[in-house]
């Protein structure tokens, strides 16, 4: 890379750090091209991005961002994964690390909070944003259904009582 390409790369990485909410630092010693392709597909399916970057350039891009706490993790063959959905990128990283022993999660950052590997693992065990939204929607709609049932029950009971009185009056008249 010449200097202009390096400047462009640092600028693009800095803009990514400004827009994302979660960055995971991984180590990928000895991974094959097929393994990296599987990893990239898994990250893409989770809505995350995965990039191998020179540590020196990544540290320059991190400078002045909320993720500058992960700079000490950038030693050796590292790569960065990021996403706006913090749980998705953590899940994708941890799931791939379970199946591939050459892929190691070193840590990361959720906003300005720096996390170690155990923190990333704990974050991966949380439900995803879509699951939380579905659960919240279910909780909101359930009371409305119950309220409708409760409101309909007295009206039905009143109708049955009136029908019983009407039947009684008919029986007495006959």
Extents of the domains making up the chain: 3-126, 127-174
- State the average pLDDT over residues 159-173: 76
In the predicted structure, residue 136 carries a pLDDT above the cut 70:
yes
- State the average pLDDT over residues 97-118: 88
Mean pLDDT (the chain) is 84
DSSP 99: H
Class of domain 3-126: alpha beta
Banded pLDDT at 153 (limits 50, 70, 90)? low
In the predicted structure, residue 148 carries a pLDDT above the cut 80:
no
In the predicted structure, residue 144 carries a pLDDT above the cut 70:
no
pLDDT value of residue 37: 92
pLDDT value of residue 171: 78
- State the average pLDDT over residues 55-83: 88
């Amino acid at each position: 890379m010449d200097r202009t390409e390096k400047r462009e790369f640092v600028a693009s990485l800095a803009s990514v750090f400004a827009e994302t909410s979660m960055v995971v630092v991984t180590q990928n010693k000895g991974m094959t091209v097929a393994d990296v392709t599987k990893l990239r597909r898994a990250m893409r399916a989770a809505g995350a991005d995965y990039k191998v970057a020179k540590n020196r350039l990544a540290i320059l891009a991190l400078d002045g961002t909320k993720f500058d706490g992960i700079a000490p993790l950038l030693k050796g063959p590292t790569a960065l994964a990021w996403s706006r959905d913090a749980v998705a990128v953590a899940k994708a990283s941890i799931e791939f690390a379970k199946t591939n022993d050459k892929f190691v999660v070193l840590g990361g950052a959720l906003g300005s909070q720096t996390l170690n590997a155990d923190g990333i693992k704990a974050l991966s065990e949380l439900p995803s944003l879509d699951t939380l939204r579905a659960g919240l929607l279910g909780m909101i709609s359930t009371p409305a259904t119950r309220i409708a049932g409760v409101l309909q029950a007295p009206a039905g009971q009143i109708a049955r009582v009136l029908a019983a009185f009407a039947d009684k009056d008919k029986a007495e008249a006959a």
